[in-house]
Amino acid sequence: MKYDGKVPSGPLAEKWKNYRGTMPLVAPNNKRRLDIIVVGTGLAGASAASTLGELGYNVKCFTFHDSPRRAHSIAAQGGINAAKNYQNDGDSVYRLFYDTIKGGDYRSREANVYRLAEVSTSIIDQAVAQGVPFAREYGGLLANRSFGGVQVSRTFYARGQTGQQLLLGAYASLSRQITLGSVQMHNRHEMMDLVIEDGKARGIIARNLLTGELERHAAHCVILATGGYGNVFYLSTNAMMSNTSAAWRAVRRGALMANPCFTQIHPTCIPVSGDYQSKLTLMSESLRNDGRVWVPKKMEDVEALRAGKIKGVDIAEEDRDYYLERRYPAFGNLVPRDVASRAAKQVCDEGRGVNVAGLAVFLDFEDAFERYGKSEANAHGDHNPSREKVLELGRKVVEKKYGNLFEMYEKITGQNPYFTPMMIYPAVHYTMGGLWVDYNLETNIPGLFSLGESNFSDHGANRLGASALMQGLADGYFVIPYTVGTFLSKEIRTPKIDPNGAAFKATEKAVADRIGQLLGVNGTQSVESFHRRLGKIMWDYCGMSRSAEGLNKARKMVQDLRAEFYKDVFIPGSADEYNPELEKAHRVADFIELGELMIVDALDRNESCGGHFREEYQTEDGEALRRDDEYTYVSAWEWPNPDAGDPTLHKEELVFENVELKTRSYK
């Protein structure tokens, strides 16, 4: 079966406007009668729940966190894109659209991406009105910086805490709706399953995480804004609790998972330091505005570095290989993430990694200190400053831009990056794959919508920096409030959904049974140990580079791990109490199944595109070899029961009417 993206007809730039103007609406008196469940309070969920509440719907919102403000979005650092063209540097809606399509390696849907670019400007207006303290110029206007894969400055930022400030804005709006009574908030409640009645999504089973009680919640439709699944790799930059279970449970009920193998490995993260490591820390991409990436040219320097005999600063300029500037002169250090990560892996594979494990490259700010220092000195009328003075002034400017990141680096590594170059290495960061949705952000299950990182919709095979915050807020503030009407306008005569219906009871029982099954194993190995092993398999075989041989091997390993999990996992405590180990077990069980599907997807895609690099498909100089003739489609996988056979692939062919498919070049 082919899946229809329901893209409206008409010229690209008119689609959303015309569609919005002609789509069915729900009258205010009817909105009051309609219930909506929103799961998640990250940027996507909080913005959706508050806006739907403002419109007059009855919203029930869920998060497993103790407060909506703790969602993983809080950790986003570098910024948010918008086609405001405040810098007058040639930006436009079309350019943001084009950059995003190209950055995604031509594996996303044109119409969705265009709409994203179109509404991006309203997001900034909305955030400023909520009191988000974006960075400003001396004149009081908003400041911008650049991110990878683009040649304009369109990224708005709030120091290195843009996600925090945007989420606090959305959380404030949500809090206001909670006070006004239009949103009923359920903190510390985890969605355990999706309830489908007569083929439509009508509710969820949630577990009260403090008491362990299962609850049935009903609504006319369900919106999942539950974030990404990067933690399938165990080590990632995601928050520890981020997981796939809400989306995966929807897949188990018939939803399709799209492009699951499209994972973003971020080039600039603090390298792994030991086996006990629980997570990895991102150093924002914004640093590549000013930092230069390099490794030594000579092996003897590499060896001396590893032996601790010399430091990065001791290596002479001519003995450094600024490999990104060398290979990609047009974009230099600001190539997209997938390209930068792969290049780092290549130099480390060549043996030129700069830490003891050989898995790190330098990110060096010396040039930036000098450049900024000189202009500061000039600005203060000092035209002949000493080098030391210049560096000192420059460090101050850099501190203003990235102070919290430098501080975070020092806290973790114990090294001061103002005086020694940072060491960085790629790490899992974001998942472009997610629940398949159409133009309305509705999954193939009627009444089930998915927003933010939990859907697959806008980033193709690689996401550009500062575009996830944009997408989450676009989906929540400006898309779903309209498109949910396409479903709900047909439901105005549907009475309140009864949470005591047969489907609810059966689903609740299935959840209770699964919890019983997990606790009943009573084996010997911790949940954590399974998660770690899964992560290692995924990183080794389905990470930065993949091959058919490795993937086949990995699939078997994951299947074996799954069998072992259900034979030997040990979960302390019981089901009727606050039990974080039980929560984790449920999530890891789902990660294992998703992991297998990612491998299957990576095997199916016999090409290299974006973050998906298949070793068999590369050009002579090691660049990705995309195969548009065969793979210009979205892979939408159906896999309601992993015990009953292989997943089924549905293809949504991607049609490009407005851009010409080109080999991505950043040279």
Partner 1 sequence: MKLKLKIWRQKNQASKGTFETYDVVANEHMSFLEMLDVLNEDLISQKKEPVVFEHDCREGICGTCSMVINGHPHGPNGGTTACQLHMRFFKDGDIITVEPFRASAFPVYKDLAVDRSAFDRIIQAGGYISVNTGQAVDANSVPVEQNVAEAAFDAAACIGCGACVAACPNSSAMLFTSAKVAHLSLLPQGQVEENQRVLNMVNQMDAEGFGRCSNVTACEAECPKEISVANIAMLNRKYFKASLASEKKVQ
Ligand X SMILES: Cc1cc2nc3c(=O)[nH]c(=O)nc-3n(C[C@H](O)[C@H](O)[C@H](O)COP(=O)(O)OP(=O)(O)OC[C@H]3O[C@@H](n4cnc5c(N)ncnc54)[C@H](O)[C@@H]3O)c2cc1C
> What residues from 393 to 432 belong to the interface with partner 1 (CB under 8 A)?
408, 411-412, 414
The one of partner 1, ligand X, none whose footprint includes residue 535, by CB under 5 to 8 A per kind, is: none
Mode of pairing for the β-strands spanning 35-39 and 58-62: parallel
Q: Taking CB under 8 A as the criterion, which residues in 608-667 touch partner 1?
A: none
CA dihedral (403, 409, 414, 415) positive or negative: negative
Cβ neighbours of residue 386 under 8 Å, at least 6 residues apart? Answer: none
498 exposed, middle or buried (CB, 10 Å; 0-12, 13-18, 19+)?
A: middle
Least Å from the CB of residue 76 to partner 1: 9
* Binding string, residues 208-227; x marks residues near ligand X by CB under 6 A: -----------------xxx
- CA 61/CA 187 separation, integer angstroms: 8
Return the residue matching tokens 């001519």.
318
250-276 residues labelled b (16+ CB within 10 A) or e (exposed) = bbbbbbbbbbbbbbbbbbbbbbeeeee
By CB under 6 A, name the one of 174, 194, 246, 261 that touches ligand X. Answer: 246
Least Å from the CB of residue 280 to ligand X: 9
Q: What is the CA radius of gyration of the chain?
A: 25
The one of ligand X, partner 1, none whose footprint includes residue 581, by CB under 5 to 8 A per kind, is: partner 1
Least Å from the CB of residue 531 to ligand X: 16
Q: At residue 220, what is the residue type?
A: H
| Selected range binding ligand X among 212-220, 291-299, 468-476, 532-540, rule: CB under 6 A | 468-476
The one of partner 1, ligand X, none whose footprint includes residue 159, by CB under 5 to 8 A per kind, is: partner 1
* Binding string, residues 201-240; x marks residues near partner 1 by CB under 8 A: ---------x----------------------------xx
How many secondary structure helices (H) and strands (E) does the chain include?
19, 21
Q: With contact defined as beta carbons under 8 Å apart, do 433 and 232 qualify?
A: no
* Binding string, residues 299-338; x marks residues near ligand X by CB under 6 A: ----------------------------------------
- CA 245/CA 515 separation, integer angstroms: 14
The one of partner 1, ligand X, none whose footprint includes residue 469, by CB under 5 to 8 A per kind, is: ligand X
Q: Which is nearer to ligand X, 24 or 133 (CB)?
A: 133
Distances (CA, A) of 352 to 305, 323, 343, 344: 10, 11, 12, 10
Token couple for 473:
């807020």
Instruction: Report the catalytic residues.
Output: 337
Q: Taking CB under 8 A as the criterion, which residues in 583-612 touch partner 1?
A: none
- CA 649/CA 4 separation, integer angstroms: 14
Mode of pairing for the β-strands spanning 525-526 and 292-296: unpaired
Told to check if 28 binds partner 1 by CB under 8 A, we report no
Told to check if 235 binds ligand X by CB under 6 A, we report no
| Selected range binding ligand X among 72-80, 101-109, 594-602, 635-643, rule: CB under 6 A | 72-80
Q: Taking CB under 6 A as the criterion, which residues in 446-465 touch ligand X?
A: 452-454
Told to check if 88 binds partner 1 by CB under 8 A, we report no
Helix axes 480-488 and 43-55, enclosed angle (nearest 10): 60
> Which parts of this chain interact with ligand X (CB under 6 A)?
39-45, 62-65, 71-73, 75-80, 162-163, 190-191, 225-228, 237-238, 242, 245-246, 282, 284, 429-430, 452-454, 466-469, 472
